[in-house]
Structure 1
Amino acid sequence: MANREPSYGLSRVVQQKIEKQYDTDLEQILIQWITTQCRDVNPPQPGRDNFQNWLKDGTVLCKLINSLYPEGQAPVKKIQASTMAFKQMEQISQFLKAAESYGIKTTDIF
């Protein structure tokens, strides 16, 4: 339900503005970069929802941050795909901590 579009009013206008700003070309560039960097990650089908679901559980993000480190120095030790929300949040949290320790400013992290 959370991903259902608002059907009226200001919420609908805001949702339409967000959708207009989405860049499918940038999506493809990011997918290409991530799959090239990680090598063991399968790309999603094109589309905003597929891209978001691909990143949602945090496994791809954790594999990506690990790929930026030398062999044996990966900051995220355990990467598990899961449909349980708390496990997904744990993966995302590990990614965020690793990104911060990599040197990304806290204010620049989504």
Structure 2
Amino acid sequence: MANRHRGEAALLVEGEALPMRLTLGALAELEQAFAVDSLPALGERFVTGRLSAGDIIRILAAGLRGAGRAIRDEDVAGLSFDGGLNGAIKAAIALLEATFGDDGEARPPQPPEA
């Protein structure tokens, strides 16, 4: 079961709940994949609500790898998601919310003010 307090979410594939987590390494991977230079820029990319199928694949794959599964983006693209496309999208959103906040708006935490 996914522990949201640890930033975890689950991806349902053929009845199996695969754990996902965006570790610091997974976030760095996404920064590179989306050609952004910071966590705030990554969060801004996600809150637009205009994610492509390729974006969803990258997010899910990074989350699966962050949780310890050795899987390539190409392998994620071929999975049979429970709920089809909607299931994949919901899992990606749940992962972003678990990582960046649970208020429905994905955004990275801001550093404390000095």
Question: TM-score interval w.r.t. the shorter chain?
Answer: 0.3 to 0.5
**Which has a greater percent of strand?**
2
Q: TM-score, normalised by structure 2?
A: 0.32
Q: Which structure has the larger Rg over C-alpha atoms? A: 1
Higher relative contact order (CA 8 A, sep 6+): 2
